[in-house]
């Protein structure tokens, strides 16, 4: 139910969605969000109010950094009590990283924060941006009769699908269906109506306050294995100065080579207090290190299973836990369990 007193804050951070085509020159130019309603006339028909907050200059999401993430979180925190929900317009390139990191920065979120963007600029005739924008706003405004929001969590909405943000990954550089949530059910599907799948949506404790956590540590790395990988490459990554956490992208159900040099390098890194999390290179499925000998040795060394977490979520979760200076064993434990619904 969308109530007419609902208020949504639309935060424009950048990305393709915020562009228009100059009809005379054909060039893509930044869209003037302060004239949103005249540029997107459909906005006038929304039955709730929408205020806008603009990042200036806009960020191409392939250049997003930790400061930008903190700035986005601050806008939500500073306006948390004034709005029923938030829509963050963001470039699609790194949207899953931003969705994941914000999910860890927000603890006990009790309002919808929906990230959306588009593959074609909003000012293009065939844009996917308008539908994404309008439906994301409607979802952010949707409340039950008792005033509780329908989706009190951090989501990505793209091309008719509402997904848990930290479960998403960008799967297509061309199609409008650019995102998927391979290991978790959709939270809602938009057709003639928006169909919510309530049993998959988080149910926060409304008596607890929401906490905003700004500490992030980017002394982390992603190490993607491939057949023929050189010892010098693995060594360069695992001995990076200041390194504290590694997402090890392994094969299949969490398997890796057993060459002595690899085991040695990994063992030294673990003994030096680096947290290593095993994430599969497969889009679907789980890490199960006990299945094969090529996984068992990782488990014995002390590599943590990331189960079915995405690389984006594993990396940003590490950034958040390391930033909060938790103890080594606590981080290893917290990486192996779900904190925000990021793993099954
Ligand atoms: N490079 C753009 C961005 O991520 C692409 C997009 O928005 O789809 O900001």
Residue 253 confidence class, pLDDT cut points 50, 70, 90: very high
Q: Annotated catalytic residue: which of 16, 92, 116, 310? A: 16
Number of other residues whose CB lies within 10 A of the CB of residue 114: 27
- State if residue 60 touches ligand 1 by the CB under 6 angstroms criterion: yes
For the chain, give the longest Cα–Cα distance.
65
Question: Is the whole-model pTM more than 0.85?
Answer: yes
- State if residue 91 touches ligand 1 by the CB under 6 angstroms criterion: yes
Q: Is 20 a residue whose pLDDT tops 80?
A: no
- Integer Cα distance of 262 and 196 in angstroms: 46
Cis upstream peptide for 170 (omega within 30°) = no
- State if residue 175 touches ligand 1 by the CB under 6 angstroms criterion: no
How confident is the model at residue 32, as a pLDDT? 74
What is the percentage of the chain residues whose pLDDT exceeds 70? 97
Q: Is 154 helix (H, G, I), strand (E, B) or coil?
A: strand
Region 97-117 average pLDDT: 98
Region 6-16 average pLDDT: 94
- State if residue 92 touches ligand 1 by the CB under 6 angstroms criterion: yes
Looking up tokens 């360069």 gives 236
What is the percentage of the chain residues whose pLDDT exceeds 90? 82
Residue 28 confidence class, pLDDT cut points 50, 70, 90: confident
**Distance, CA 40 to ligand 1 centroid (Å)?**
20
Region 227-250 average pLDDT: 98
In this structure, what DSSP letter does residue 122 have? T
Atom of ligand 1 nearest to the CA of 94: 4
Q: Are 197 and 228 in contact (CB under 8 A)?
A: no
Region 209-234 average pLDDT: 98
Provide the token pair at 87: 């829509």
For residue 291, what are the CA distances in angstroms to 50, 199, 286, 287, 296? 51, 31, 11, 9, 7
Atom of ligand 1 nearest to the CA of 63: 9
For 254-294, write each residue's pLDDT tens digit.
999 999 999 999 999 999 999 999 999 999 999 998 898 89
Q: Is 4 a residue whose pLDDT tops 80?
A: no
Region 179-198 average pLDDT: 96
Region 131-153 average pLDDT: 96
How confident is the model at residue 16, as a pLDDT? 87
On average, the pLDDT of the chain sits at 94
Best substitution site from 14, 62, 91 to test ligand 1's pocket, by max atoms within 8 Å of Cβ? 91
Closest CA to 139 of 23, 46, 61, 203: 46
Name every residue whose Cβ is closer than 8 Å to that of residue 224 and which is 6 or more positions away in sequence.
249, 281
Q: Is 37 a residue whose pLDDT tops 90?
A: no
Q: Is 2 a residue whose pLDDT tops 70?
A: no
How confident is the model at residue 154, as a pLDDT? 98
- Integer Cα distance of 304 and 214 in angstroms: 25
Name every residue whose Cβ is closer than 8 Å to that of residue 298 and which is 6 or more positions away in sequence.
248, 250, 254, 256, 266, 278, 289
Q: Which helix (H) or strand (E) holds 49?
A: strand 49-54
Residue 18 confidence class, pLDDT cut points 50, 70, 90: confident
Higher pLDDT, 42 or 154: 154
Beta strand 113-116 with 106-107 is: unpaired
Euclidean distance between the first and the last CA atom of the chain, given in angstroms as a whole number: 30
How confident is the model at residue 23, as a pLDDT? 77
∠258-262-263 over CA atoms, to 5°?
A: 70
Name every residue whose Cβ is closer than 8 Å to that of residue 259 and which is 6 or more positions away in sequence.
none
How confident is the model at residue 342, as a pLDDT? 98
Length of the chain: 344
Q: Per-residue DSSP letters for 165-231?
A: GGG-EE--SSSS--EE-TTS--SEEESSSEEE-GGGS----TTSPPEE-------EEEEE--TT--H
How confident is the model at residue 197, as a pLDDT? 98
Q: Is 98 helix (H, G, I), strand (E, B) or coil?
A: helix
Atom of ligand 1 nearest to the CA of 117: 7
For 91-105, write each residue's pLDDT tens digit.
999 999 999 999 999
For 300-331, write each residue's pLDDT tens digit.
999 999 999 999 999 999 999 999 988 999 99
- State if residue 28 touches ligand 1 by the CB under 6 angstroms criterion: no
For 50-65, write each residue's pLDDT tens digit.
999 999 999 999 999 9
Whose alpha carbon is nearest atom 8 of ligand 1?
92
16 is catalytic: yes
Q: Is 5 a residue whose pLDDT tops 90?
A: no
Region 163-170 average pLDDT: 98
Q: Is 178 a residue whose pLDDT tops 70?
A: yes
How confident is the model at residue 325, as a pLDDT? 84
Whose alpha carbon is nearest atom 3 of ligand 1?
91
- State if residue 61 touches ligand 1 by the CB under 6 angstroms criterion: yes
- Integer Cα distance of 199 and 203 in angstroms: 9
- State if residue 30 touches ligand 1 by the CB under 6 angstroms criterion: no
């Amino acid at each position: 139910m969308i109530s007419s007193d609902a208020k949504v804050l639309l935060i424009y951070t950048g990305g393709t969605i915020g562009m228009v085509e100059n009809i005379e020159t054909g060039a893509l130019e930044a869209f003037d969000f302060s004239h949103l309603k005249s540029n997107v006339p459909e906005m006038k028909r929304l039955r709730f109010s929408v205020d806008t907050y603009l990042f200036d200059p806009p960020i191409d999401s392939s250049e997003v950094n930790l400061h930008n993430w903190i700035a986005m979180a601050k806008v939500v925190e500073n306006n948390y009590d004034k709005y029923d929900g938030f829509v963050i317009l963001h470039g699609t390139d790194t949207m899953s990283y931003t969705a994941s990191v914000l999910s860890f920065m927000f603890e006990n979120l009790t309002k919808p924060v929906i990230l959306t963007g588009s593959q074609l600029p909003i000012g293009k005739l065939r844009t996917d941006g308008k539908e994404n924008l309008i439906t994301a706003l409607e979802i952010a405004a949707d409340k039950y009769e008792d005033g509780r929001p329908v989706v009190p969590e951090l989501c990505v909405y793209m091309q008719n699908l509402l997904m848990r943000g930290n479960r998403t990954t960008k799967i297509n550089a061309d199609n409008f269906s650019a995102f998927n949530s391979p290991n978790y059910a959709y939270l809602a599907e938009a057709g003639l109506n928006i169909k919510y799948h309530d049993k998959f949506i988080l149910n926060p404790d409304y008596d607890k306050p929401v906490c905003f956590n700004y500490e992030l540590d980017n002394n982390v790395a992603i190490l993607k294995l491939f057949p023929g990988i050189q010892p010098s490459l693995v060594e360069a990554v695992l001995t990076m100065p200041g390194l504290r956490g590694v997402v090890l992208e392994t094969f299949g159900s969490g398997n890796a080579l057993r060459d002595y040099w690899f085991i040695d390098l990994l063992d030294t890194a673990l003994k030096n207090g680096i947290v290593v999390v095993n994430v599969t290179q497969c889009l679907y499925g789980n890490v199960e290190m006990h299945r094969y000998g090529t996984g068992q040795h990782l488990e014995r060394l002390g590599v943590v299973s990331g189960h079915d977490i995405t690389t984006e979520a594993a990396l940003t979760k590490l950034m958040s836990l390391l930033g909060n200076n938790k103890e080594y064993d606590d981080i290893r434990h917290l990486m192996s369990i779900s904190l925000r619904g990021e793993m099954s």
